[in-house]
Amino acid sequence: MAELFSPEWMATYQEKWNAEPDLSDALAKINFDSVIGYGFKGEDQPRGVLVIKDGKAIESGAYNGQTLNWDLRAKPEDWEKWFKNGLNMMGMSSAYMQGKLKFLVGDYGAMIKDPRMVNPFLKSFSVMGEVHAAAVG
């Protein structure tokens, strides 16, 4: 089983990101470029990174000091819950307001006001859920 946000996990995430039109194609339409870190609350740095160019994930792996546009953090059990159950707008807002989902870098407020960004963001959680389901077998 690949550890959450390990290089192997992130490589599978990259592959599934690019295969999901509601994510990669939707973000390509707005020329979305970003470096996204994923990790756990309380740790100094994220564990995994995904580099997006024009909506497509072009690089993935362990965090290695890259400058991040987004840095998403949560407790492992919260990530697991979202992977299993998915995340909708109400769930994301609740997680953010309760401090379960932290944006150490990135503008949460601007993102949720733009459906061109928020819908793919929510879709990214279901894609992470697919990666997680495959990892745990």
Tokens matching residue 35: 């470096």
CA torsion 8-12-15-20 (nearest 10°) is -150
Domain 7-136, classified CATH 3.30.1050.10, yes or no: yes
Residue 2 clears pLDDT 70, i.e. is over it: no
Domain boundaries, the chain: 7-136
Per-residue model confidence as pLDDT tens digits over 26-80: 999 999 999 999 999 999 999 999 999 999 999 999 999 999 999 999 999 999 9
Model pTM score:
0.94
**Helices (H), strands (E): how many in the chain?**
6, 5
Considering only CA atoms, which of 61, 46, 47, 75 is closest in space to residue 12?
61
